[in-house]
Structure 1
Amino acid sequence: MNRQTWRLLQYILPVGFIATAIWRASHSTTASRFGYSEPNQRRWARHHGHCAGKTQSPIAVHSAKSIPLNMPAVDMIGYHNLLPHPLVMVNNGHTVAISIPKLTEEQKANGDFMPYARGGKLPAISKWRVYTSIGAIRTIVALSM
């Protein structure tokens, strides 16, 4: 795969994943049944067994009930750069995980760096890191686009 094709894929794939996730969320019958009551929590585990571990915590954010928070912009640094490859993507049918290899010393010497975010209410520079555990599932309900 040539560099131009690789660069194009880096832009197209995330958009496709996001569009698919939005479509699936809007057409899901179980998403509308989520709630914090005990029966609804059991229903979540039954319908989404791969997300029912001890470290999972479904969170429903209702945008109509949320409070706006004015804050400085978040700067996304280096997200347009090529990532070290090969990237390994795994789609378990509920989410997509992408494994990114660490930068080599040669890449670091050439000025390459991993993407990071700063600003907003972030306490410091937030870099991509290796996750050793599965995080929480979060949904935004009634998000207008």
Structure 2
Amino acid sequence: MATLWNTKVYCENSSTSLQEVESDFRVRKAILQSRAKALYQQIRCLECGNGQTIEYSGAPTANEMRQLIWDLLVEGHSEEDIKGVIEVKYGHKVWMTPPLDTRRLFDFSLPFFGVAVCMGLLYFRYFAPKSPKVYARQLAKVNVETPYIYERRLIDMLTPPGRK
């Protein structure tokens, strides 16, 4: 009631009407609501396990975060200030798209590095061109006596018994 009285006194002292003040109030409220909604969509609910934003969450923490954001917007803080307050109070895990951090960059790149090393090992083991030394080693593993054994068997078959 006091705010209505102050508004009426303000209207009587200036040339603005009550309708203009109310429309100005509605415009400011709509702007604050749109800014708050944009912030609500950027923040993850800490209690919901499915990554839901605080805009649609009914958890007590989400209600507390929404009230904090609204209070800071009404006080006139910028969105960067509000984001800073939220991050200090709840940590960097509240953001739907967390900022890139060089400490976490190693954690994200480790699986890709592991896959690249495994593919490199597989390539050099099975698909890389082999050097002549490798072929020479493979040829050296062939039994040298093999041709002699076949020749000896052939001679044994052709020689009549008792002539050996």
**Superposition TM-score tier, normalisation by shorter sequence:** under 0.3
Larger fraction in helix: 2
Q: Which has the larger radius of gyration?
A: 2
For normalisation by structure 2, the TM-score amounts to 0.21
**Greater relative contact order: 1 or 2 (C-alpha under 8 angstroms, separation 6 or more)?**
1
Larger fraction in strand: 1
